[in-house]
Structure 1
Amino acid sequence: MTATLPALALALSLGAAPAPSPAAKPGDALAPLPASLSTRASAVEAVEAQLRTAEQGLRYVEAQFTERPEPSSADSQQKRFSEGELYSLLGDWPAASVLFYDLVSDPDFKSNPRYPEAVFYLADALYQQKNDIGARVYLRDVLSLPLPPQRYKEAVSRYLAVAGRLQQFEGIDAYVEKVRQLSGGVLAPDIAYVHARGTFKRADLSPEEHQQRSRALFAPLAQSPGRFRVQAVYHLGVLSVQAGDHPAAIAQFQRIVATGPDAVVSTGLPEPEAQRFRELARLSLGRLLYETGRYEEALDQYSQVPRESERFPESLLEVAWTYVRKQDFTQAKNATDILLLVAPQSQLAPEAQILQGHLLQKLRQYEEALETYDGVARAFAPARDKVDALLRVNQDPVAYFDNLLARNERSLDVSTLLPPLALQYASTQKEVAEAVRMVGDLDSGRQGAGEAKAIAERILEALDARGLEAFPELQEGYTRAEAVDTALTLVDQALVQAETGLVAEKLTPAEREKLLVAQGEREAQRRRFASLPTTSHELAARRQRMQARVDTVDRDAFRLGYELQSLHANAAAVRKWVEDTREERQADPAEEREFLVQLQAEIATLRDLQTELDRTRARLATERQSTDTSLEGESAIRARYAIALQQEHAMLHAGEARLSGEDTRVLLRMHAVRSRADVLRSRVAVARVALRARLEHRLKSIRDKVRAEQALLQGYEQEVASASGDARNLVGRIAYESFRRVRQQFYELVLKADTGTVDVAFSRTQDNAATIQKIAKEKSDALRALDAEFRDVLSTEGGD
C-alpha cells in the first residue's frame, strides 16, 4: 500500500483511511515511506486529535445516557398526568382516557396526591365520549375520594346526567345533598337543572311523586333569571299537561313565546337553544288551544313556527287538522300541499297524503283523490310485501335473524336487511336506534379487545426482537457509543498505517510475507467496514429505501385484504341465497348439504388467509417503525475489522525492537495513544453494559405491564363475547319486532289508501244516486205539473 506521509496525515486528520492505489503491488505496500521525523510526528498528532474527538463523544454518552439517573416512577407518573391533562384541554378524549386509565390502574399511583384528579379526568373523558357506563363507574369512584368543592360539583353534575340517561339513580340524593352543603345550602343552577331534568326522566316514581319532585326542582329555576329559566318553564308546562291542567300549561307556554313583561327572559342561553324551546312551546301551545276549541289562536301559534325549522312540517300537518276541525277543507288541503312540497321525504308525508285524499273527497274532486290514494298504495305496497316476505322467510323469524347475525361477523347492522323505504321508518324508532348503537358499541368493544390483544402481542414480539430499537432514547445512547467505538477503530487503523510506515523497512522478508497476508485479510474486512453508513444522510437514505420496500409490500397486502373481504361477502350472500330460495328451488337435500359443506370449507380457508394476512400486516407495521440495520450486525463487522487490525499490528511488533533514536520516541508516543484508546474502549464497554442494564430494566417493566393487561384482556374478551351473544339474540328479537311494526305501519297506510279509494267510489255512487234521485224527482214534478196543466183539457176531451 503506497501513500505519502502528508497524504496519510491528511487522511488521519479527516478520520478516514486512505484508499489503496489500484496499481499498487504487494511489494510496494511494505516499501519504506520517505517521510521526515516532523511529518511522522504530525501524523501522530492527527491521531491524537482524532482520539480527543472520540473521547468527547464518549463523555457526552456518559453524561447524557449512562450516568444520568433513570426517571423515577413518580416522574413518569407526573409526565403521563401532564400529557393526559393537555389532551383533555385539547379535547382529545380518547388519548386522554388511555393515559389516565394507565395512571388509575397503576397500584403505585393510588397513593399519589393527584390520584383523585386523575380519576375525575378519566371519568370526564369517558363522559365526553358518551361512554355512560364507564363514566358512571369512575364517577362513583371519584365521588368517594377527597376532592376540591368545585371539582366535586362538576363530578356530581356529570353523574346526574349519566344517571338520567341510564335510568340508574342509586345514591344521587346523598350526592346532591353534599353539593348543597358545599354551596351554602343552595344548589348551583347548572347542577339544579341537571338534577331536575334527571328527576323528570325518572320512570321509577309514581305519577304523584314524579309531579311533586319535578315541580319542586323546576320551580326555583323558573322563578329566577338565568340560562335555565326557559327550560324550567317549559318542563313545568309539560308537567301541567301530564297532570291534565291545560289552563296552567297554556299559561306556562305563553310565558315562553310572549314578548311582554310576563315573558321569560333567557340570560346566557344560546340563541339556537332558546329558539328550539320557543318552537316546542308554540307547538305545545297550539295543541292545547286546539284541544280547548280555540282554533284561531292555535293557527296563530302554528303560523309562527319558522319555515327553516325542522318542526315546520309538523306544524303544517297540525294546521291542516285544525282547518279540518273548522270544516274549512280548502285551507286544510292547502296546508297539506305545502307540507308535501317542502318535506316530501318526511315520515309525515304519507299521513299528509292520506289526509289530502280525504280532503279532496270532501271537496268532491274524486279523480284527484283517487290519484292521491293510488300514489300512497303504489309507494308502500311493494315495501310492505318485501317486509312480509322477510318475516315469512322462516317458521321462526327471530331464530332466522339470530342465525343470520351470528354468521355476520363484520357487522351487526340489521337495518341492511330492509328495503330502502322501510329503512327510514325503522331506523328512526328509538328502540332500534338504541339497539343498533348498543350492538355497535359491543362490536367496537370486541374489535378493540382484539386489537389490544394484537397490540400486546406485537409489543412483546417487538421487545424480544427489537430490543434497543423499542426505546429511541437508549438506542441513541447506544448508537453514540457505537460511533465512539467506530472512531476508536479508525484510530487503530491510523495507528497501524503509521506504524507500517515506521517499522516496515525493519522487517525481514519472512516477516514481510506474513504482514502481506495480514494486510490482505484486513483489506477484505475494511471494504465491508467502509460500506456501513457513517453520516446522518446515509442513514436517512437507507431508512427511506427500506421503508419504500415495506410500503410496497403493505400496499399489496391491503389489496389482498380487500379481495378477501369481497370473497367473504360473496360467500355470505351465496349462503343466504341458498336458505332464502330453498322452497323455490326444490333442490336435492343431499346435494345442498354437500354444497354447503364445501362453502363452509371455503369460508374457513378465507378466515385462515385473513388471519395470516393480519399477522403479516402487523409485522410490516413493526418493520416500518424500525427500518435501521441492527446494531449487532454493525458491531460484528466492526469487531472483525478490529481483529484484523490487531493481527496486522502483531506482525509489526517484531520490527519495533529494531528502531532507534527519534523513531523509538515516535513509536512510544504511538503506544501511548494506543493505550489511551484502549482505556476509552474499556469505558465504551462499561457504557454498553450500563445501557444494556437499563434496557433490561425497562423491558422487564413493560413486559410485566403488558402481561398484566393481557390477563385483563382475556377477561374482557369473555365478557364481550358473552354480551355480544346476548345482544345478537336481543337485536334479533328487536329486529323482528321493528320489522313487524314497520310492516303494520305500511299495512295501515295501504289500508287507509284502499279504504279511501272505496270511499271515493262509494261517495261517487252516492252522488250519482242523489243526482239520479234529483233528476227523477224533477221529472216526477214536471210530469205532475204537466198533468195539472192539461188536466182540464184531458177531462174536456174525455167528456166529449
Structure 2
Amino acid sequence: MNASLRALALAAVLLGPAAVRSAEPAQAPAPPPPARDLSPRLDAVETGLLGVEENLHFVETQFTQRAEPSDDDALARRFSDGEIHYLLGDWPAASVLFYDLVSDPRFRPHPRYPDALFYLADSLLEQHNDIGARLYLRELLALPPTSGHYREALSRYLTVAGRLNYFEGVEAYVAQARTLSGGQLSPEIAYVHAKWLFRRTDLSPADRITQARAAFTPLAQAPNGAFRLQAAYHLGVLSVQEGDLPAAITRFQQLATPPSAQAAQAAPGRTGPRRSAPTPEEEARRVRELALMSLGRLLYETGRFDDALDRYGQVPRDSESFPDSLYESAWVHVRRGHYQQAKNAIDILLLVAPDSQLAAEGRILQGNLLQKLRRYDEATDTYTQVIDTFRPPREQVDALLSSHSDPVAYFDRLLVRADGPLDMRTVLPHLVLKYATTQREVADAVRTVEDIDSGRRGRSEAAAIAQRILHALDTRGLETFPELQEANTRADAVDTALTQAEAELVRVETLAMQAVLTPAELARLTEAQHAREALERRFSALPTSLKTLEDRRERMQRRVDELDREAYRLDFELQSLNAIAASIRKWVDDSRTHRQTPPDEEREFLLQLQAEVQTLKDLKAELTATRARLADERNAVDTTLAGERAIRVAYADSLRREHAILREAEPRADAEVLATLRRTHGVRGRLDGLRERVTTARNVVRERLERRGRVIREKVVAEQQLLERYEAEVAAVSGDARQLVGRIAYDSIRRVRQQFYDLVLKADVGVVDVAFNEKQDKTTAIQTLSSQKDEALRELDAEFQDVLSEVKE
C-alpha cells in the first residue's frame, strides 16, 4: 500500500507541471519532442497505474467482492451488540436491539432467542417498565423450560405480578418450576413466591395467611439460608395480622440482634435476581431495623414501656426509621407520664426531620407536652407556628375547590399535560403539593400520567426517527451506510486517478502529434483544450488517494466541529437559563410565607414564568434538532461533494474529444510517433480495463445500497404501522387514565385539605387549652392565696383573741 501511495504521489508530481503548462498562453509551436523524452512520462503513468490498481484491488477485496453477511450472521452480530449494551448497563440501547431481534420472525428459531427475550425483559425492568417486562417474561415462560433462564424469568415474573396485582397463571408456572427442580423450589424462587402469596389480594385473609406461612416457614428454618431473616420477619408480620402478639414478639426478638451477628447468619454468596439487590449485610441491617420498630410497637401495645423504649433506642440514627422511632418513643414517655423526656424526643425529631409530615404531628405533641410542663408561652408559640404554616394553604385549597364547578375535570386538565406537575405548582401551594405527591395514590397517578406522556413522546420521537430514516434513504443514500459510502468514495478516488492518467496520455499524444496535425485540426484541438482547461482547476482538487481523502475528511470535520461547539455553547446557556428559572420557582415557593404578594399577582407571575420555561423548551428542541443535523453532516463527510461526479464526467468527455481529434491524424504519423502512440494505446487499454472494474464495483455498491435500503424501508414502514396502532392505544389509555387521575388527584387534595384542617383544629384547640389551663392555674393560684389569706387572718384572730377581749372589757 505504501508503494502504491508513493507511485500515486510521483504521478501527481509529474501531472501537476503538465497541468500548469497546459494553462500557459499559446506560444510559437515548439518542435515535437523525440520519443525518448516522452517515454519517462509514460513510465510515470504506468507506475501510477500500479498504485491505482492496488487501491482498486483493496476496494474489491474489502468491499465489493466480499460476501455480504448472511441473515444468520447479521442476527448474531445484532445479538452480540445487544448483549454488550446489556452487560454495560445501557438498558435503553439493549432493549431497542433485543426488541428488534425478538420481533424478527427469522430470529425465533435461533438458539439465542430465549436469551434475547430474557435480556429484553430484564432491560425493561431496569427501566421500570413492568408491563412490557411481564409481556416478554410470559413469552419466555411459555417456551420449553430447558430453553434457559427459566428460574430467573419466573422470579422476575412473580415480582412483576405482585407489583401489578396480576395473578393469572402464576401457580402453573410455580408448579412447573417445582417439577423441574425435583419437587423443591430454589430458595430465590421460593422467597419471591412466598412474597407474592403474602401480597395477594384475591384470597380471604385466613387463606392468605395460611398459604404465606406455609411458604415462608421452610425458608426461615433453613440454617444460614439466603432468605432466612426476611422470611422470619414476614412470619412475624403474619402473626401480627393473625392477632397472635406473643408469637410475633418472640419472632421479632430473635431478629433484633446486632448487625454483625445478622450478617454472619446471612448466606455469604447470595446473588439476587437484580444486580441492584442489596448485599447480605445491608439486608440483615434493614431486617433488624424493621424488627426493632415492630417490636417497639408490640411492646408498647402490651404495656411493656421500658422494653419498648429500649428497642426504639436501638434504631440507628442513619436509618430511615429513626424519625418514626423518635415519635413513637415520645408517646411511650407520654404513657409513662415522663413529659420532659417525651419533649426531648420530639425536639430531636424536629431537628433531624423538620420537613417530614411526621414533624407536623410532632409539633402538636410538642405543644401538648409544653402544656403539661406548664410552659404556656412556648406552647402557644408552637401551636401558632402550626396554624401559620397550615392555615393559609388550607384556605387557598378551599378557595380553589369552591371556584370550580367540576374540580375533578380541573385537576384532570392540569395533570394530563406533558408538564403536569409543573402546572399544578402554579395553582397549588407548595406545601399542599408536597403532601399530596407523597401520598401513594397521587404519586402513582402522577407517575401514570408521566408514563403516558413518556409513551406519547416516545411514539412521536419514533415517528420522527422513522421519517428521518426514510428521508435519508431517499436523499442521502450512501450516507446511511458508512461501509458502502467508504467503498464508493474510494472508487471515486480511483476513477479520478484514472482520469488524471488519461489526461497525461492525451498530453503525451498531443506532444507526439504536433507535427502531424493540420491547421484545422490544431484549431479544433485548441478549442477542446480550452474547454478542458476551464475544468482543470476544479478537477485537480478532487481526491485521488487515501491521503487526500483523509485531508478532505479532516477539513470538513473541522468546519462541522466548529458549528457543533457553538451549538454546545448555546445548549449550555439554555441549561443556565433553565437553572435560573428553577431557582426563581424555588424562591417563590420558599419565600411565600415571608412575602405579602397578592395571590392573583403571584399566579400571574408564575404563569409568565411557565411561558418562559416553555420557550426555553422549544429552543432546546430546536437546538437538539440542529445538533442532530450536524451529527449527520459530520458522519457524511466522506460523501462525494455536490458536482464532483459531474466535474469528472465533463473532464473525461473533454479528454475523449481531444483524443478523437488526435486519432483522426494517426494515419499520417511516422514510425517513431506510431511507436509512442502504440504504447499510449496499450496504457489506455489498461485504463479502460481498470475503469470497467470501477464501474463493476460501483454497480455492486449500488445493488447493495438498493437491497439494504429496501430491507430497512420495509422495516421502517412496518414500524410506522405499529406506531399508528400504538398512537390509538395510547390515546385510548390516556382518555381512561385522565378520568381516573383527575379523580385520584382531587380525592388526594381533599384528604390533604382535611389533614391540614385537622392540624389547624388541633392547634386552635391547643391554643384554647393553653389559655384555659393558664386561667385555671391563675384561678387556682388566686384561690390558694385567698385560702392562705383567710387562714392567716384566722390565725391572727386566734393569736390576738386575748388582746381583743381585754380591749372589749
What SS does the corresponding residue of 1:27 show, helix, strand or coil? coil
After TM superposition, give the deviation of residue 604 of structure 1 in Å.
Answer: 14
Corresponding residue number in structure 1 for 2:3: none
d(CA) in 2 for partners of 1:282, 1:677: 90
Single out whichever of 742-751 and 52-61 deviates more from structure 2: 52-61
Deviation at 1:138, TM superposition (A): 0.8
Residue 535 of structure 2 is aligned with which of 525, 549, 559?
525
**Map 1:452-463 → 2, pairs under 5 A:** 452-463=462-473
Matched, 1:540 2:539: no
Superposition map of 1:654-669 within 5 A? 654-669=664-679
- Correspondences of 1:755-774 after superposition (within 5 Å): 755-774=765-784
Work out which of the residue numbers 72, 75, 85 in structure 1 matches 2:73.
Answer: 75
- In structure 1, the residue matched to 2:166 is 168
Q: Structure 2: which amino acid aligns with 1:235?
A: H
1:434 equivalenced with 2:434 (yes/no) = no
3-state SS of paired residue (2:382): helix
User: What are structure 1's unaligned runs of at least 5 residues?
Assistant: 1-7, 570-580, 586-601
Q: Is the 8 A contact 2:295 2:311 kept in 1?
A: yes
Cα deviation for residue 559 of structure 1 reads 10
Residues 458 and 618 in structure 1, CA contact (< 8 A), matched pair in contact too: no
Is residue 571–residue 620 contact of structure 2 (8 Å, CA) maintained in 1?
no
> Which amino acid in structure 2 is aligned with residue 120 of structure 1?
F
**1:732 & 1:712 partners in 2: Cα distance?**
29
Contact 1:391 1:397 in 2 (8 A): yes
Measured after TM superposition, the shift of residue 384 of structure 1 is: 2.1
**1:590 corresponds to:** none
Q: Following the alignment from structure 2 to structure 1, what is the Cα–Cα distance between the partners of residues 433 and 618?
A: 35
In structure 2, distance between residues paired with 1:387 and 1:763: 33
Q: Deviations over 1:654-700 (max 9, x none)?
A: 43222223332221111111122112212222221221111111111
1:573 matched residue in structure 2: none
Please state if 1:48 is matched with 2:46. Answer: yes
1:149 is displaced (CA, Å) by: 7.0
State the partner residue of 1:333: 343
CA–CA distance in 2 between the matches of 1:293 and 1:565? 56
| 2:485 maps to 1:467 | no
Q: Which residue of 2 aligns with 1:299?
A: 309
User: Could you tell me whether the CA contact under 8 Å between 1:13 and 1:47 is conserved in 2?
Assistant: no
Post-superposition CA distance 1:104-144 (Å, at most 9, x none): 11122222232222222211211222211001111111111
Q: Answer yes or no: is the 8 Å Cα contact 2:553–2:638 preserved in 1.
A: no
Contact persistence 2:496–2:543 (CA under 8 A): no
* Cα 1:553/1:333, change in 2 over 3 Å: closer
CA distance in 1, matches of 2:625, 2:382: 59
- What displacement does 1:39 show? 3.0
Q: Residue 492 of structure 1: CA displacement?
A: 0.6
The aligned residue for residue 399 of structure 1 is 409
* Worse-superposed segment, 783-792 or 503-512: 783-792
1:481 is the counterpart of 2:481? no
1:140 aligns with 2:150: no
Measured in 2, the distance between the counterparts of 1:190 and 1:530 equals 72
| CA apart distance, 1:616 | 6.8
Deviating more after overlay: 548-557 vs 654-663: 548-557
Identity of aligned residues (%): 56
Q: Where do residues 501-580 of structure 1 align in structure 2 (5 Å cutoff)?
A: 501-534=511-544, 535-544=548-557, 546-548=559-561, 551=564
Distance 1:110 1:510, change over 3 A: same
Partner of 1:707: 717
Q: CA deviation at 1:551?
A: 3.6
AA aligned to 1:82 is S
SS in structure 2 opposite 1:761?
A: helix
For residues 619 and 189 of structure 2, what CA distance do their matches in structure 1 show? Answer: 55
- Contact 1:11–1:18 (CA under 8 A) maintained in structure 2: no
Offset at 1:792? 5.9
Instruction: Please state if 1:680 is matched with 2:680.
Output: no
The number of residues matched between the two structures is 762
Partner of residue 400 from structure 2, selected from 390, 404, 407: 390
Q: What is the aligned counterpart of 1:215 among 213, 216, 224?
A: 213
Q: Indicate the residue corresponding to 1:126 in structure 2.
A: 124
Pick which of 393-402 and 200-209 moved more: 393-402
Distance 1:603 1:344 in 2: 31
Residues 1:145 and 1:32: Cα distance change in structure 2 (over 3 Å): farther
Give secondary structure in 2 for the equivalent of 1:134: helix
What residue number does 2:95 align with?
A: 97
- Distance apart, 1:786 and its partner CA: 4.1
Q: Is the 8 A contact 1:100 1:118 kept in 2?
A: yes
Q: Which residue of 2 aligns with 1:594?
A: none
Counterpart-to-counterpart distance in 2, 1:158 and 1:603: 40
Q: Which residue of 2 aligns with 1:267?
A: 267
Within 5 Å, give how 1:201-350 maps onto structure 2. Answer: 201-224=199-222, 225-258=224-257, 265-268=265-268, 270-350=280-360
Deviation at residue 497 of structure 1 after TM alignment: 0.9
1:197-216 Cα shifts (integer Å, max 9, x gaps): 11111111111001101100
2:677 is paired with a residue whose SS is helix
1:641 is aligned to 2:651: yes
Q: Look up the match of 1:57.
A: 55
C-alpha RMSD of matched pairs (Å):
3.4
Q: Mapping of 1:702-781 within 5 angstroms?
A: 702-781=712-791
Distance 1:238 1:176, change over 3 A: same
TM-score (norm: length of structure 2)? 0.87
Would the alpha carbon gap of residues 32 and 270 (structure 1) be closer, same or farther in structure 2, given more than 3 Å must change? farther
Distance 2:347 2:312 in 1: 16
Closer/same/farther in 2, CA of residues 252 and 654 from structure 1, 3 Å limit: same
- Give the alignment partner of residue 361 of structure 1, picking from 366, 371, 377: 371
User: Structure 1's 124 and 533: CA in aligned 2 closer, same or farther, altered over 3 A?
Assistant: same
Cα distance in 2 for residues equivalent to 1:10 and 1:684: 22
The one-letter amino acid paired with 1:62 is E
Distance 1:549 1:439 in 2: 40
CA shift, 1:18, in A, is 2.4
CA 1:86–1:728: 2 relative to 1, 3 Å? same
Q: Give the Å deviation of 1:622.
A: 3.9
Cα distance in 1 between the residues matched to 2:721 and 2:617: 25
Q: Give yes or no for contact 1:16–1:490 (8 Å, CA) kept in 2.
A: no
Listed as ranges, the gaps of 5+ residues in structure 2 are 1-7, 269-278, 583-596, 602-611
Say which is worse superposed, 202-211 or 141-150, in terms of deviation: 141-150
Contact 2:414 2:423 in 1 (8 A): no
- Structure 1's 154 and 612: CA in aligned 2 closer, same or farther, altered over 3 A? closer
Deviates more, 1:781-790 or 1:712-721: 781-790
Q: Could you tell me which of 175, 185, 200 is aligned with 2:198?
A: 200
Say if 1:347 and 1:425, in contact at 8 Å, map to a contact too: yes
**Letter of the structure 2 residue corresponding to residue 72 of structure 1:** S
Shift of 1:531: 2.7
Structure 1 range deviating more: 653-662 or 248-257: 653-662
Question: Match for residue 589 of structure 2?
Answer: none
Would the alpha carbon gap of residues 451 and 17 (structure 1) be closer, same or farther in structure 2, given more than 3 Å must change? Answer: farther
Q: Is the 8 A contact 2:489 2:639 kept in 1?
A: no
Match of 2:592 in 1: none
Task: Say which of 83, 86, 95 aligns to 1:85.
Answer: 83
Change (3 A) 1:318 1:682: same
Amino acid of the structure 2 residue aligned with 1:111: P
CA offsets, 1:421-445, max 9 Å, x none?
3333222211122111121111111
Q: Secondary structure at the match of 1:299?
A: helix
State the distance in 1 between where 2:615 and 2:431 align.
37
